[in-house]
Amino acid sequence: MGTRILTVEDDERIRTAVRLALEDEGWSVAEAENGEDALAIFAQAPTDVVLIDIMLPDIDGFEVCRAIRRSSDVPIVMVTARDDTHDVVAGLEAGADDYLTKPFAPKELSARIRALLRRARAADPTSPHLRFGDLEIIPDQGVVRREGAEVHLTKTEFKLLVELASSPGKVFSRETLLDKVWGYDYFADGRLVDVHVRRLRTKVETDAANPRHVVTVRGLGYKLQP
């Protein structure tokens, strides 16, 4: 079975047009017009990418995103009404891997989806086990343990951690991380990295406010403390 994408959007015309465009890419598309339907459809069939508009008639997009995140690390793209920090960051905090602002070009959406799919499948089996204090990373199994207990990371968070762990102590700029983890050249913004680093910290750090592993290098970016 091919790649299946779930689009959650209350405007029927937009939904149809997006479906047509995504089907042109060779993907199969499931549609939901509200949050409840979306969760029901998501529960029924395996889905590779979810596209959620945050403006929904019943439960809002953030809530749908959180609900999906509770059971799955499926790549999620949020569609925000405006490019303002509040919506973008709220969407990413809710667990989205990426966001788009309406009106977006379907080509851009396909590019993001392809990048997310690559990430979802990428697991380099040759990478060695890595250990940083209480943190243990096993790239080939996609497993991260803190103090021996497995930590559940989304694909993007995992890729981010592995990327930083590939050169411990090296400073990665936001641009580099966007390129390596998200697979974008320049058109994404640093907030993606910032929010994901924060989410990652809440999972891999004992005290997310005083991170010991994933640290900020002011003016430069982030690095993994060896």
Partner 1 sequence: MTDSAAYVGGQPATLTRRRWGRIRTPRLGLRARITLAFTLSATLLSALLALTTWGLTRESIINQRESSATTQAFRNAGIVRPYLLPDVDDETLRSTLGSLESDSAARALVRDEQGLWTNQTTEFDEKAVPRDLLRMVEDGTPARMRVTVNGQPQLLVGVPLSSVGGLYFEFVSLKDTQNALESLSASLFGATFVTTLAGAALGWWASRRTLRPLADVSSAAEAIAGGRLDTRLGAIEDPDLGVLVGSFNHMVEVLEQRIDRDGRFASDVSHELRSPLMTLSASIEVLASRRDDMPDASAQAAVDLMVADVARFKQLVEDLLEISRFDAGAARLEESDIRPGELIHQSVAWSQSPEVPIEIDPELENVVIRADKRRLVRVVANLLDNARKYGGGPTRIEVRREPASLTIAVEDNGPGVPEDERDLIFDRFSRGAGSSRRAGSEGVGLGLSLVVEHVALHRGRVWVESLPDDQEGARFVVQLPIDWDAVAPEEEDHHHDLLDDHHPDDHPEEEVP
Residues that bind partner 1 (CB under 8 A): 11, 13-14, 16-18, 20-21, 24, 81-83, 85-86, 89, 93, 102-107, 171, 173, 175, 185-187, 189-191, 194-195, 197-199, 202, 208, 210-212, 215-220, 223, 225
CB of 17 to partner 1, least distance (A): 3
Smaller CB distance to partner 1: residue 40 or 105?
A: 105
CB of 42 to partner 1, least distance (A): 22
Residue 26: exposure state from Cβ atoms within 10 A (0-12, 13-18, ≥19) = exposed
Name the β-bridge partners of 216.
222
- Distance of alpha carbon 197 from alpha carbon 115, whole angstroms: 19
CB of 173 to partner 1, least distance (A): 8
Smaller CB distance to partner 1: residue 93 or 122?
A: 93
- Distance of alpha carbon 68 from alpha carbon 150, whole angstroms: 20
- Distance of alpha carbon 99 from alpha carbon 91, whole angstroms: 8
Smaller CB distance to partner 1: residue 84 or 150?
A: 84
76 phi and psi angles, rounded to 5 deg: -125, 135
Smaller CB distance to partner 1: residue 86 or 121?
A: 86
CB 36 within 8 A of CB 11: no
Smaller CB distance to partner 1: residue 10 or 143?
A: 10
93 phi and psi angles, rounded to 5 deg: -65, -35
CB of 21 to partner 1, least distance (A): 5
CB of 171 to partner 1, least distance (A): 7
DSSP track, 160-176: HHHHHHHSTTPPBPHHH
